[in-house]
Chains A and B, each alone.
Chain A
Amino acid sequence: MTSSVIGHLILKDWRLNRLLISLSIGVGLIALVIAQYAGGAARLLGSVWFFVSLCILGSMLPASAILNERKKQTLAFVMSLPVSSVQYTIAKALSTSAMFLVPWLTLLISALVFIEMRHAIPHGIIPMLLILAMLPLIAFCLISAIALVGESEGWLMAASILCNSSYWFVWYLLARIPSLTANWSGPVAVWNPAALIVLAAEVGSIASIVGVTFFFQSRKRNFI
């Protein structure tokens, strides 16, 4: 019975946010198409736009889905249902993750497919692409976690600003690792240890963010 309540809450969140989801998929796809079919500068612009749309999605979705529940005072309605605060967090985490992952995966897979089918971009870039694409995912997890635990727009804004302004710095750091940049213009994707370690660290950071979130959520004594 309980798992179905969590399921219903997830469906509810999807239903409430479907406009936002479709918009972000649409915008991202347009960016990708431009990046593939235009030349030179347009391609660069398209790539950047592709990445930016991912980042914006990552910040807006948590705000919409998570904080609105508190702001618009519908949290009391949800908590009157047979769910605990931990179950609520699970439902919110799953629904917002799914909402982010669908467009994110769509964009990532489309990018990989385009690279495969259109030989304009070398396969060597694929590991780096993956590493870069993980960054908005980590940012999304972090911002969502802070929205859930911090409960306020102030915290959310601080987290968004921090993440969105850190991308350039992280890119800079990554670009300075020679084994990552060495092969990216080559015809073959090279999975060297450096790339694998970075990817593992990214996945690890997501896992710890999730763990810490649940820890704090379960200890809250004034849920509303």
Chain B
Amino acid sequence: MNDLAFELSGVSKKYRYFTLEDIHLKLPRGQIMGLIGANGAGKSTTIRVLMGLVHQDSGEVRVLGHRMPAEQVAAKWDIGFASEDMRLYDSMTLDWHMRFMRSIYPNWDASYAQLLLQRFGLRAEQKMKGFSHGQRVKAALLLVLARKPQLLVLDEPTTGLDPVARHEVLRELTGVMAEEGRSILFSSHNTQDVEQISDQITFIDRGRIIDSMDKETYLDRWRRLRLEVPLGIELPPLPGIVGVQRRGRLAVATSNAFVPDLAHAYEHTGVRVQSIESMTLEEIFVANVEHNREEVEA
């Protein structure tokens, strides 16, 4: 049995105004990957290629060992998919949808479904058209969670949710991890959620993957150095520094490959290092995208 939840190798997809280029991405089973990118960066397209909803122009896609899109039917038995632009049937109730799923999927867990109704605060006998945005998102998640699929593929599962609903959803997503071997891929531009529950983080921008690695290692590499530059001293360019902001004698240097020697290197030139701070994923996201766009344009 394959030990990867999914693997994309050299995947490309060209649209009229957007191109997904040379995507290499993989996730070991039993882990959660958070896919971060600005709007239009290619998160949804990558997910659609993964699900076999869209055929890639080149490259190979394997999900739970199945080649996509050729073996998409076999794969989809074990994948739970929910996306932000997906809608359920307006004129039908949530209960109808639950019975519909139950009739198709043999491993539908009815008691878990009932528990989720309670936890999410949803009324099964209500028609979908009466649901608010947040309730709709939770309803769609309920329908995939209660199936207990091997892989959950979620396109923006917390977007537009109030803090309570977000908390409810994150609780269930981390709860999935209680069973070894189950995996989640979710996309978001909410860096807080990604930072909290992801094992692996992938940054995507303008159709390309910028970074993809395990979260803690990644967070360890990024540091903000607050510097005091005495008059007459030039700030030296150092390897691993991706950006510097000056405000008079103060400077803030951002590093994406921090080692303690870096601070020493500054001090050798007479620059005083006031503090070394770790960065939140949001700060890293912005710094990373800016740096990457500069590099591409250079």
Contacts and interface: CB of A to CB of B under 8 A. Distances in A.
A221 B52 CA distance: 10
Interface of A: 1-2, 4-5, 8, 12, 15-16, 72-74, 76-77, 79-84, 87, 221-224
Closest CB pairs A-B (n = 6): A80-B81, A76-B86, A73-B87, A221-B55, A82-B76, A224-B53
A77 B55 contact: no
B89 interface: yes
Given A79-B53, A82-B74, A224-B48, 14 more contacts: A15-B92, A16-B89, A73-B87, A74-B87, A76-B83, A77-B88, A79-B51, A80-B79, A80-B80, A81-B104, A84-B73, A221-B54, A222-B54, A224-B54
B100 interface: yes
Bin the interface of chain B by size: 20 to 34
B87 A77 contact: yes
B73 A83 contact: yes
A128 B257 CA distance: 83
Interface of B: 48, 51, 53-55, 72-74, 76-77, 79-83, 85-92, 100, 103-104, 140, 144
A81 B51 CA distance: 11
A87 B74 CA distance: 13
A199 to B, nearest CB: 38
- Please classify the interface of chain B as helix (H, G, I), strand (E, B), loop, or mixed, using the class held by over half of its residues: mixed
A4 B100 CA distance: 12
Contacts of B104: 4-5, 8, 81-82
Contacts, number: 63
A72 B55 CA distance: 23
B231 to A, nearest CB: 61
A223 B85 contact: no
8 contacts: A8-B104, A16-B89, A76-B83, A77-B88, A80-B79, A80-B82, A87-B73, A224-B48
A74 B89 contact: yes
Given A82-B77, A84-B73, A87-B73, A77 B90 contact: no
Contact of A80 (B51, B54, B55, B85): B51
Nearest to B153: A80
Nearest to A76: B86
A12 B89 CA distance: 10
B55 to A, nearest CB: 4
Contacts of B91: 16
Contact of B86 (A1, A8, A12, A77): A77
B139 to A, nearest CB: 11
B53 A76 contact: yes
